[in-house]
Amino acid sequence: DQNQKRCKLIDSNRQHFNVQPTRLRQRYVTKDGKCRVNLGNIEEKGRFLSDIFTTIVDLKYRWFLFIFMMCYIITWVFFASVYYLDALLRHDVYHVGDRNWQPCFQNVENFLSALLFSVETQRTIGYGTRMVTSSCPEGVYLIMAQSIVGSMIDAMMVGCMFVKISRPKKRAQTLLFSENAVIANRDENLCFMFRIGDLRDSHMVDAKIRAKLIKSRQTTEGEFLPLEQSEINLGYETGEDRLFLVEPQVISHTIDEASPFWELGADQLKQEQFEIIIILEGIVEATGMTCQAKTSYIETEILWAHRFEPCMMLAKGEFRVDYSRFHKTFEIQMMRSSAKGNQELREMEQEEDPSTLSLYWESTELHPVMADEKEKEGEGFTEPNARSFDNIVEEQ
C-alpha cells in the first residue's frame, strides 16, 4: 500500500510539473564508432581458425601479446624437451666431463641447459658453448626443424604485429564529427545536416560519406522488423558524397518525398525513436590503407531550427580553422512543421494566386464599359448584372 501511494504521488507530481519519464536508450553505434552488437551462440567456431591471421589481428592487445609470447615459449620448451630426451636416450647426461665420450649435444647436462640450447638455436644467438656434433644425425635434423619452425613463427607473429600496429583504426581518432545534428532550411528545402572535420594535415584520399537509419517498424502483414536499416541519401547520384576533406564540411541531406524524415516535424521528432549512423570511409595518405570512422545520432541529439556556427576565417593570407566552434550551433526562426506540411502549404499558396487572376479577368469581362457597348449592340445586357472589379476584391 505504501509503494502504491508513492507511485501515485510520483505520477501526480509528473502530471503537475509536466515531467516526462526518461527513456533508457541502447545505442547501436556509440559516439566513438564502436558497434554495440554482441555475437553469441556461434556453433561453427572452426571458421575462425581457417582465417587464423585475421583472427589474431582482431584480438585485443592483451590476448595478442599473450599468444605472441606463448608461440615462442611453447616451441622453446618443446624442442628443449626433445633435446633433453635425446641426451637421456644416448646417455650423454651420465658422461658429463668424460673427454672420451662423444655426446650428441655438447654441454647439455640437464633440462635447463637444453632449454638454453633451444633458445640459442631458434634465435640464432650462438654463445659457442653448446652445439651439435657430427656423431648425432638426429640432432642435425632437429636443429633444421627448429630453424624452419622458428622462421615461420617469426614471419607470422611479426606480420601480425606490424598489421595490428599500422591498422588505420587509430586514424579514425583524428576524424571529428559534430556532437549534434541539426535540421534547418537550406535553399528553401528542409535539410538534415551534420559537420565533419579532419584534424591532421595529411588528408584522406577519396573520402566518401554514407548514412544509415536504424529504426524498428511493423509491416502491413504484422511482421516486426527490429533495427531495420534504410539508406539516407547524401548525394550519391550527384557525387556530393565524395569529399575533399581539407576543412570542416557540413554534410546535408535534403528532406524530400524519398526521405524517411518527409513527415517528421519538430513535435514528431521528440516522439520518435531511431538512430542515424554516419560512416566516413577513405584512404590514409601516409599508408595507403582504407580507414573507416563511424558515429551515430539519436533523436535527442538532433536540434530543430539550428545551424552550425562558421569556423573558417581568413588570417594573414591563409584560411584558418577554429575548431573551438566546431560543435557550436545557433538557433534560427523557422516553422515547426514537416517538409510535407511545408510543401502542402506552398501548394495552397500557389492555388490561391490563379484564382485571383481568374476573378480579375472575369471582372474585366463584366466591366460597365463593356456593358454599355453590348447595350448599344442590342444584346439585352443590363447594368445591374455587372459587377465592378472593386466589388470583387472586397468580396474576396
Long-range contacts of range 162-170, CB-CB < 8 Å, 24 or more positions apart?
163/57, 164/57, 164/61, 164/64, 166/287, 166/289, 167/57, 167/289, 168/284, 168/287, 168/289, 168/290, 168/291, 168/292, 169/291
Name the region of 116 (left: φ>0; alpha: ψ -120 to 50; beta: rest): alpha
pLDDT at residue 302 tops 90: yes
Q: Lowest-pLDDT range, 34-48, 51-65, 163-177, 346-360?
A: 346-360
Q: 176 is written with which cell numbers?
A: 571529428
Q: What pLDDT is stored for residue 3 in this prediction?
A: 54
pLDDT at residue 15 tops 70: no
**Mean pLDDT computed over every residue of the chain:** 81
Q: What angle do CA 42, 45, 50 make, to 5 degrees?
A: 145
- What domains does the chain contain, in order, with CATH numbers? 45-166 (1.10.287.70), 171-202+229-272+298-340 (2.60.40.1400)
Q: What pLDDT is stored for residue 11 in this prediction?
A: 56
pLDDT at residue 206 tops 60: yes
pLDDT interval class at 366 (50, 70, 90): very low
The one-letter code for the residue type at 349 is E
